[in-house]
Structure 1
Amino acid sequence: MIILTKKSELLPHTRVDLEIYLTAEERTKVKQKIQLDAISENGNKYIKLNLERGDVLMEGDILTNDDRSFFVEIKAKLESVITVKSPNTLDLLKAAYHLGNRHVSLEINNDYLRFSPDHVLESMLSKLGISFCQETAPFYPELGAYKH
């Protein structure tokens, strides 16, 4: 099993050996064992992350093992999400306020908000008259004030 221990920059002479697709929640776990969809070229079925506590994985991050012989690129996995869109900025602000008040992991963009499906939150948005839809997309929630 390959154990990835640090973030790295990809130098011109190196190549990415593997891309790993992780959900937003999985990208917050720096200590985990990941089962690969297929056995890698060197016969591994698992990759282990053993990064420093406090690290947050972002799409495009390059991870490597201690001897820098194996490089993995992190990608955002498509997942089921609720997307709130409105031509009315005030509706988006209201939705962001009420979702934030419930400490929901929330992706905030200029023209939409996105969060993990939750029927209670969907009902709340409906009662507020704010439209939303369920879709499959990459999810990039805000990291929070103390993770930057």
Structure 2
Amino acid sequence: MPRAIAVLPAGDVADGMVVDRVVLDADDRHRRRVAMTGEGGTAFLLDLPRAVALRDGDGLRLEDGRIVRVVARPEPLVEITAESPDGLARLAWHIGNRHTAMQVAGGRLRIRRDHVLEAMLRGLGATLAAIEAPFDPEAGAYDHAPSEHAHAAHGHRHADHHHADDDHPHGQPRHGHPHD
């Protein structure tokens, strides 16, 4: 079974390059290793170094050079609006406080249908609309792109960075006086 070993961003995938497509919901688009079969019958093993969030239109490059396009499957969602940007921010905070996957789309929020959350949001003044659409939730603070890194264990000293002379723990600004 051929392996899909690379993800090509949607903008880099021309229609003429694509031999098949896989239609996946949001959960199935966040994988590292799983057997897949395209709508046209192309069977392959998704075999990436780490789990990534595949986006609608991305291409999966197989070892032999063929490309399989990723298509986001429409899902039952609720679209959330508010009377003001501040109101929408407040609603987003409440959704995030419940660790719920959420998409920000054109001044609206989208979540998967959940009658408990929907009742809470209505109680907070939200306007809700049930829709069927592809779901592309925010990746989150801990889902780093390959070029990003944390300072905990990444193989070099802080002396290698511009903040080598920092006399404070990370996250604490300098404030002009010593602490004895």
TM-score bracket, normalised by the shorter chain, equals: 0.7 to 0.9
- Report SS of the residue matched to 2:126: coil
Aligned counterpart in structure 1 of residue 96 of structure 2, from 90, 95, 100 = 100
| Post-superposition CA distance 1:20-57 (Å, at most 9, x none) | 221111111122223444x53xxx4x433111213321
Q: Is the 8 A contact 1:17 1:72 kept in 2?
A: yes
Shift of 1:72: 0.6
Unaligned runs of 5+ in 1: none
Instruction: Look up the equivalent residue of 1:105 and give its one-letter code.
Output: A
- Percent sequence identity is 30
Aligned counterpart in structure 1 of residue 48 of structure 2, from 44, 51, 65 = 51
Output the aligned Cα RMSD.
2.2
Instruction: Look up the equivalent residue of 1:136 and give its one-letter code.
Output: E
Q: Distance in 2 between matches of 1:134 and 1:32?
A: 31
Counterpart in the other structure of 1:4:
4
Shift of 1:7: 2.1
Are residues 1:133 and 2:129 paired?
yes
1:28-47 to 2 correspondences below 5 Å: 28-37=30-39, 39-40=40-41, 44=42, 46-47=43-44
Q: Is the 8 A contact 1:20 1:75 kept in 2?
A: yes
Select the structure of larger CA radius of gyration.
2
Are residues 1:119 and 2:121 paired?
no
Shift of 1:136: 0.1
Instruction: Look up the equivalent residue of 1:115 and give its one-letter code.
Output: I
Q: TM-score, normalised by structure 1?
A: 0.82
Change (3 A) 1:8 1:49: same
Q: Is the 8 A contact 2:78 2:113 kept in 1?
A: yes
Aligned counterpart in structure 1 of residue 23 of structure 2, from 13, 21, 24 = 21
Q: Which has the higher contact order (CA 8 A, sep 6+)?
A: 1
Counterpart in the other structure of 2:71:
75
Q: Distance in 2 between matches of 1:74 and 1:20?
A: 5
Q: Distance in 2 between matches of 1:120 and 1:26?
A: 24
Q: Distance in 1 between matches of 2:86 and 2:51?
A: 34
